[in-house]
Structure 1
Amino acid sequence: MADLPTTARVVIIGGGAVGASALYHLALAGWTDCVLLEKNELTSGSTWHAAGNVPTFSSSWSIMNMQRYSAELYRGLADKVDYPMNYHVTGSIRLAHSRERMQEFERVKGMGRYQGMELEICSPSELREKYPFLETHDLKGGLWDPYDGDIDPAQLTQALAKGARDLGQKIIRFCPATGVRREGGDWVVETAQGEIRCEYVVNAAGYRAQEVGRWFGREVPMATMSHQYILFEEVEEVAQLTAERGRKLPLLRDVDVSYYLRQEKNGFNLGPYERNCRAHWVTPDDPMPDDFSFQLWPDDLERLEHYLEDALARVPVMGKAGLSRVINGPIPYTPDGNPLIGPMPGVPNAFEACVFTFGICQSGGAGKVLAEWVTEGGTEWDMWSCDPRRFGRWIDHQYCVDKAMEVYGHEYGMHFPHHAWPAARDRRLSPVHDKVKALGGQMGAYNGWERALWFAKEGDDTSEAATQTWERAGPWEPRVREECEAVRDAVGVLDLPGFSRFNLSGAGAADWLLGRIAGALPKVGRMNLAYFADARGRIVTEMSVMRHDVDFFTLITAATAQLHDFELLERDLPEGLSLTDHTDEYSTLIVCGPGSRALFDEIAEADLTLPWLSHQPARVAGRNAALARVSFAGELGWEVHAAVADIPAIYDAVLACGAKPFGMFALDSLRIEKGYRAWKGDLSTDYTLLEGGLDRFVKFDKPQDFPGKAALMAEKQRGVKKRFVTMTVEAGAADAPYMSTVWLGDSVVGETTSGGWGYRVGRSLALGTIRADLAVPGTRLEVEIFGERFPAEVQPDGPLWDPENARLRA
């Protein structure tokens, strides 16, 4: 066993597949003086009992990227590191019982094709050809993934570990970390064998990540679920078919029922994700044992009876097999089911690579992503879906448990665009929440903040089932149309709690901020948009900048960006400047439409002649407020920013003056018509500022350098390869979802980043990026929507609605 070194560049805590992959990928990046600490033997956490499935399927672009990379890595890993592995690339089929599921498969097929994977849609008869034991009488079809399969988790981990060791890395087994401390700008990791000083620490502790996180003052958002799978004895027919074909059966997933079924030797492995699931280690009287390594829980087969019966009916030959063994082990879950990979919120030089529900299929890609974060400060693919900062500090353990149980029970659930998941709601409420609901508000959560999605009328179907469609039509559709028309023709009001807002002040604040953004700062009393880029010139975030004095600013950003954007500002903040978070102290109303000036004439003491992009202190309904002359809806309007306690009186006054409440669905339609970008959809690190069409916000001639300036100048000189455009789409019943493929003939030329119906222009619209030479008004293309291509046309640069911004400036 290796001796513990006294220093290292990086220390990784946790020796499962993810920790080993992170160590290996750090070595591939040239960082070969790193150490992995494991309290027991490698794989002793969730890795050793994992089923070892390796799917590439995901409805998330970034997760698909990560899993695709893993599968590619594993196919060549044994030879590359000279370590034998049992890796069976069997392919897989996913079964569809409904048209909606087939639509999901068509969308994922399109995404996979864009990433270079040949996924196929299959008819029931084609499924039967691939899986002769399958009953198909009640199926609509399925999806074939030739890259899917299964791998031995222990062998995978040992192969990654060997690859890392061969490149100079150290792995110290049976050496539990016991704590950390910050000392002289370094981390000191305390262990049972002594201390090790390092620059960076990575929490890769699996279901023990919360325990490790607390050493850093971090409460990792997670819960631990019980996952069972059943192993069956050999079936003669399976053995015969395997011998005839020379390969195993494809991995089968009945996603509508919620289980996978895999050939295990010449028997089966059945793994359900049951609705009546169970979380462990939830309460203080049920703590995680200190010595829980290479251990399992007792069987709980009653929870699985329904799934077992269904699988026996789907693959009747299973009935000939006896039950061999039940595995019931811990799997960690975050509140959304995606892992944590990236900077530890608020903690310098500390990272997380933990809480993996599908750690085997994701560990290869996760190691790559983690190594990029550590060595480069950013990742090749935008990985917000896994960024630890996506969860706010308001999240408590009960929230994590409630959401983990929901996600587990709907592991194969479809994420419909108009559906709001019901668990763990009402955690962060607007001061007018009850009034909004009484007006018919159908709510959704944004970083925990409840906002109205649309406003129902009596008789509208507001059941959860009514929202489970990919199509535009639903009970919300006529209401969203009415809301958009009210904003267009009269005046609407949107209650918008949860804007992230920070105050920046101190001598030199303006010069410092100007050196962080790509563009210019507003004058005192004015406001503008500011964009932050990374060293590659890619879009990191967007903030609204309100300037109160020469060196006093309020920065407003998306609700979900609270931790991300505060950290972006704080990490390089010079001594003497003050940065404070006021998100919970204030709330916002958006009041807009051609009648908004007349409305404020009645209830506000303010100068309503001040121009677009101005802001001012005011009295509204007798309460102090700030009025900002901006409108994300693209109409004459103001944002009303006021203390939480003052919002109810202002909201009541606005409603009394005839404003119609509108929701987030309407706002999304309105902003797409104006070509306004949404964070982590249209605005992400997948695109540079120039690719994102933000040229006018980049000031190359200002005296201050800014992150990404050199990269953007070089990109401008050699020519931008992709350009952001608005397209009209001759769509059918559904609008283009995120990452729909854009075609020119038989060539893929781009992707959508947002899509929706524009009620003011009466067209289906899509925002996206396409090959630069095609970004010419009038260019005819096609947009693929759930497997069908629809004609599209590139529109002139600028907004489709009110292209001269005359209504905004009125």
Structure 2
Amino acid sequence: MKTHVKALVVGGGAVGTSIAYHLAKAGWDDVMLLERDELTSGSTWHAAGLLPYFNMSFATTHIHDYSIRFYKTLEEETGLNAGFSVVGNLRMAQTQERMDEYMLYASTAETCGVPYEWMTPAQIKDRWPLIRTEDLEGALYHPTDGYINPADVTMAMAKGARQRGVLIERKWQADGYHWTGEHWEVTVTKMVERGGNLVPSDEQMVIIAEHVVTATGNHAQRTAQLLGIKIPAIPVEHQFIVMEQDPALVEFRKTNAEHPVIRDADAQSYVREERGGWILGVYEKHAPARFAYGVPDSFRADLFQLDLERIEAQYMAMIHRIPSCEDCGLKDDFNGPICYTPDGNPLLGPAPGLRNMWLAEGFSFGITAAGGTGHYLAQLMVEGEAEIDMASLDPKRFGGWMTTEYAVTKNEEAYEHVYILHHPDEERPAARPLRTAPAYDRQKALGAQFGCVNGWERPNYYGPLDAPGSFDHDARSFRRGGWWHHAVEEAKAVRESVGLIDATAFTKHIVEGPGATQFLDWFTCNKLPKVGRINLTYALTSHGTTRTEYTIVRLDEDRYYLVSAGAWTAYDSDFLQKAIEDKRAEFGWISCHDVTTQWGVFAIAGPKSRDVLKEIVKDADPNIVLSNKRFPWLTMRNIELGMVPVMAIRVAYTGELGWELHHPIEMQNNLWDQLVSAGEKHGMKLVGARAQNWLRQEKSYRAFGNELGRDATPLEADLPRFVDLSKEFHGKAKLEETGIRSKCVTLLIDGPSDADPWGREALYAADGTRVGRLTSGGYSVHFGKSVGMGYVKPEHAIEGTALKVKMLDQLWDATVTHDSPYDPKNEVIRKDG
């Protein structure tokens, strides 16, 4: 076995095999894959092999789409039939709300070029008469989808990998990882059969690898322990049963093609044909997580005991949907571990805190994702970035605060939510509340309905004080939910009087030291602010696209306070810390501290925000301390609000006159009480994140993870004012080389009377040509209509261009407006008083 390789892939399931194949295809000619047992011996062997397109994530949709197209090419390349049955995928809806979900998904699918068709109950019955349809609203049909044999597709990819020079070694287990500063030393142990178990032998060796990829599936917790990191990928039991032949199905098939994969989402189940019978798979409640602290040595290609009582409701629903199966006996059953993560999406990308260590863990739909995972991860590793923004799948989207118990609880929840309606305004309840700022109880008592951002509880909006516990759940919708009018009133308050917003979840870092200024000047693309001033700026990827957005406050000559998005604390911190390590020898000593949990943040905004602060600011002349002369826009001042020392920043994400009030978090309740009391006579309203999101779109303020990401440069985001091309900075050459492939625009939309866009919709030109997609959407209280932001081809980004937005399966008129349609000259935000 080789002892020196460019890349070592650990794990021989479908995902690991695809990664090895695609690394070789991308040009790396020294790749090796290790499998502790046999290829496919993990979850791959007992997977049902379905290939569901359906996913609300833009990145994951691309991954699934690549897989489905790629698998169809494997036989020609390798000579091995991957067992792909292109029978289509029929996703049925029993309610109009489920059809609303499908319509939102379908518009997202269009942005990725995924084909689909709509079917009525009558059309379904006419084509597949064994399906009961009288209680259906309709269905979404993917004609190019189907199912595949997991073992066959894995072996086909393995053969393709070998043909491209990949070495595949079985019965070797990775037992230790050591980073030398230049490469990985991976200690591996030969595994042997003993008494039916697979156990380590005395034979060990060390493999030197420049890069390591872990695709260890159910063994992710062992991998985490060996690497000294947290990987919240823990398996959950998944059951499916195989039934005896159905005579009615056998008769149907004499003159008809195979049924599509039949998904009855409202019954939490899927069904497909299997040798004249049916396979029923379910996503039921109360399926337990397994192997939270590691897989026992005795567990190999094994299964758990079937729990029929747990899936009785789904079984009866199948008999209802396909009545002919009622008398079919049970032929076989499967109850095996399938890995999940707290949000159901895989962990794909660089490992936190480590160099050249890549994670591909937590694949709940591993067969569907394997092909695309290999393709896009290989791009990331070989070229430095993928063509799609992979941030939503990055392992660092989960912070170090996460525990095993949290992951178990959320993974079980993610499993049972596979077929629960995926409302865009959904907030899942498990393991909450956990991370709460001091003012949480006060906000809850005032009607706050919370969302969860990186574990933090953050008010989404303020509902009625006497709201029942189910209020927020009942208020959700694919249209304008029960919360909508609350958010409207909150947004109006900011535009007309004053609102108070909790922004404590913001990520915050202190960067200081003799090398700090030179480093940040290289690290970000805008000019650095002067002492006491702030700047908005971006840290770029090596490809010139946007890696992170920062508000930088210059506290002293070589001391800076960096504020970034609250959802991305570990993601931003890892990138920042690694960049500092790389440049410290060049620029001098630099220290960096994550102070997110030390500082709370309240944002106060609106025409009367200065009046509220005057009530409590401690200064000889409150009028002067808050004036434009003493405290102009885009500056920072240390002020005292009662007994609370506050780092006040004259900026507002809403585009109104306002301040961010950064304060010691242990003093938060005192400050909250002061602000609420002072705001009473000025009509101050408590405001949540949803209203704030609408308001920032009226100002064309881009949001990281929406308009800003690793698939577009700041120039494509139409932010040239924040890019100083007169200086050198990381990613500059690629930024200039890339040019403008697409451009970010703001649109005012004449949409339906009961719905607004969510930021996932396709955009069309007047002639029906698809020209882009929305990345944000909502309602504008200023213009009295829907608003959205997104990317279109440059020729369609001209102000006044008429476009169409796909919403609820219809095209609605939209117009490209000028940047910052509300207060384009920033006169309101600079208001003196």
**What residue ranges of structure 2 are gaps of 5+ in the alignment?**
190-203, 620-624
2:511 maps to 1:511: no
* TM-fit CA distance, 1:394: 0.8
2:160 maps to 1:135: no
2:475 maps to 1:467: yes
| Aligned equivalents of 2:113, 2:787: Cα separation in 1 | 27
* TM-fit CA distance, 1:482: 2.0
* TM-fit CA distance, 1:120: 0.6
* TM-fit CA distance, 1:295: 0.6
CA 738–771 in structure 1, closer or farther in 2 if over 3 Å, else same: same
TM-score normalised to structure 2 length: 0.93
Match of 2:646 in 1: 625
Report the residue type matching 2:652 in the other structure.
Answer: S
2:659 maps to 1:651: no
Q: Deviations over 1:617-636 (max 9, x none)?
A: 12112221100000001111
| Aligned equivalents of 1:724, 1:84: Cα separation in 2 | 44
Q: Counterparts of 1:233-632 in structure 2 under 5 Å?
A: 233-245=244-256, 247-282=257-292, 288-458=295-465, 460=467, 463-474=471-482, 476-573=483-580, 574-575=583-584, 576-605=589-618, 607-609=625-627, 610-632=631-653
| Aligned equivalents of 1:79, 1:361: Cα separation in 2 | 20
- Which secondary structure state, in structure 1, belongs to the residue aligned with residue 632 of structure 2? coil
TM-score normalised to structure 1 length: 0.96
| Aligned equivalents of 1:595, 1:386: Cα separation in 2 | 41
| Aligned equivalents of 2:502, 2:758: Cα separation in 1 | 26
**Which of 815, 818, 822 lines up with 1:793 in the alignment?**
815
* TM-fit CA distance, 1:133: 0.7
**Which of 757, 760, 768 lines up with 1:736 in the alignment?**
757
* Structure 1 runs of 4+ with >3 Å offset: 458-462
Match of 1:687 in 2: 712
Match of 1:678 in 2: 703
Between the two proteins, what is the percent identity of the paired residues?
37
2:160 maps to 1:167: no
2:113 maps to 1:100: no
Match of 2:622 in 1: none
| Aligned equivalents of 2:590, 2:239: Cα separation in 1 | 53
Tell me the matched-pair count: 796
CA 356–715 in structure 1, closer or farther in 2 if over 3 Å, else same: closer
**Which of 57, 63, 66 lines up with 2:60 in the alignment?**
63
Report the residue type matching 1:216 in the other structure.
Answer: L
| Aligned equivalents of 1:792, 1:340: Cα separation in 2 | 36
User: 1:55–1:147: 8 Å Cα contact kept in structure 2?
Assistant: no
- Which secondary structure state, in structure 2, belongs to the residue aligned with residue 185 of structure 1? coil
User: 2:494–2:605: 8 Å Cα contact kept in structure 1?
Assistant: yes
Report the residue type matching 1:48 in the other structure.
Answer: W
CA 484–772 in structure 1, closer or farther in 2 if over 3 Å, else same: same
User: 2:6–2:31: 8 Å Cα contact kept in structure 1?
Assistant: yes
Report the residue type matching 2:414 in the other structure.
Answer: V
Match of 1:723 in 2: 743
- Which secondary structure state, in structure 2, belongs to the residue aligned with residue 132 of structure 1? coil
* TM-fit CA distance, 1:242: 2.6
Match of 1:711 in 2: 734
| Aligned equivalents of 1:614, 1:104: Cα separation in 2 | 44
User: 1:492–1:660: 8 Å Cα contact kept in structure 2?
Assistant: yes
| Aligned equivalents of 1:467, 1:242: Cα separation in 2 | 45
* TM-fit CA distance, 1:407: 1.4
- Which secondary structure state, in structure 2, belongs to the residue aligned with residue 294 of structure 1? coil
| Aligned equivalents of 1:130, 1:405: Cα separation in 2 | 37
Q: Deviations over 1:336-391 (max 9, x none)?
A: 11111101111111110111101001100011122122212221111222110111
Report the residue type matching 1:202 in the other structure.
Answer: V
* TM-fit CA distance, 1:465: 4.1
Report the residue type matching 2:644 in the other structure.
Answer: R
| Aligned equivalents of 2:540, 2:808: Cα separation in 1 | 33
User: 1:416–1:467: 8 Å Cα contact kept in structure 2?
Assistant: no
* TM-fit CA distance, 1:723: 1.8
CA 126–437 in structure 1, closer or farther in 2 if over 3 Å, else same: same
Report the residue type matching 2:329 in the other structure.
Answer: G
Q: Deviations over 1:184-231 (max 9, x none)?
A: 421111111311011111111001011112111112112221111000
Moved more, 772-781 or 583-592: 772-781
- Which secondary structure state, in structure 2, belongs to the residue aligned with residue 426 of structure 1? coil
* TM-fit CA distance, 1:712: 2.7
Match of 2:210 in 1: 199
User: 1:633–1:670: 8 Å Cα contact kept in structure 2?
Assistant: yes
2:42 maps to 1:45: yes
* TM-fit CA distance, 1:42: 0.7
CA 785–222 in structure 1, closer or farther in 2 if over 3 Å, else same: same
**Which of 118, 121, 128 lines up with 1:121 in the alignment?**
118
Report the residue type matching 1:254 in the other structure.
Answer: D
**What residue ranges of structure 1 are gaps of 5+ in the alignment?**
none
CA 108–660 in structure 1, closer or farther in 2 if over 3 Å, else same: closer
Q: Deviations over 1:685-726 (max 9, x none)?
A: 222222211111112122x2x23322332344xxx2422111
| Aligned equivalents of 2:772, 2:784: Cα separation in 1 | 24
| Aligned equivalents of 2:827, 2:349: Cα separation in 1 | 43
User: 1:56–1:147: 8 Å Cα contact kept in structure 2?
Assistant: no
User: 1:131–1:250: 8 Å Cα contact kept in structure 2?
Assistant: no
| Aligned equivalents of 1:197, 1:556: Cα separation in 2 | 39
- Which secondary structure state, in structure 2, belongs to the residue aligned with residue 227 of structure 1? strand
